[in-house]
Amino acid sequence: HLGNETLKAELGRAAWKLFHTTMARFPDQPSEEESAALKSYIYLFARLYPCGECASHFQKILKKYPPQTSSRSAAAAWACHVHNEVNKSKGKPVLDCANIEGFYDCGCGDDEMEKKS
């Protein structure tokens, strides 16, 4: 059946929001296990993204720009960069990644995910 650009764009906005907010909440000083978990999450996100054409396009971008998961700021800057790669391929304006910190707020206050269990 025919694609629907409106729904595809809505999915994209929702997915990017979750993606960037995940980076914004990632620990500043993650353990090796946390860094590995984020890396797996990113590869699985790319593999299972519901729009197949988008998924294969994004997997190519990941090959060129492997996930950076050594810290919150590295992950947020990396995610901004790969989103800009998608923006460029669609002829959209790119975002200045220097301003990414504080842009994505989960609304969860000080309920830090970082607290060790």
Which residues are near ligand FAD by CB under 6 A?
Answer: 8-9, 12-13, 15-16, 20, 49, 53-54, 57-58, 80, 83-84, 86-87, 90, 92, 95
**In this complex, which beta carbon is closest to ligand FAD, that of residue 16 or of residue 43?**
16
**In this complex, which beta carbon is closest to ligand FAD, that of residue 71 or of residue 81?**
81
Residues whose CB falls within 8 Å of the CB of residue 12, separated by 6 or more in sequence, listed in order: 51, 54
Give φ, ψ of 32 to 5 degrees.
-60, -35
Min CB(70)–ligand FAD separation in Å: 19
Write down the H helix ranges in 1-117: 5-24, 32-48, 52-64, 72-89
Q: Collapse the DSSP code of 66 into the 3-class scheme (helix H, G, I; strand E, B; otherwise coil) and give the result.
A: coil
Min CB(28)–ligand FAD separation in Å: 19
Q: In angstroms, how far is the first alpha carbon of the chain from the final one?
A: 47
Shortest-Cβ-distance residue relative to ligand FAD: 12
**In this complex, which beta carbon is closest to ligand FAD, that of residue 35 or of residue 75?**
75
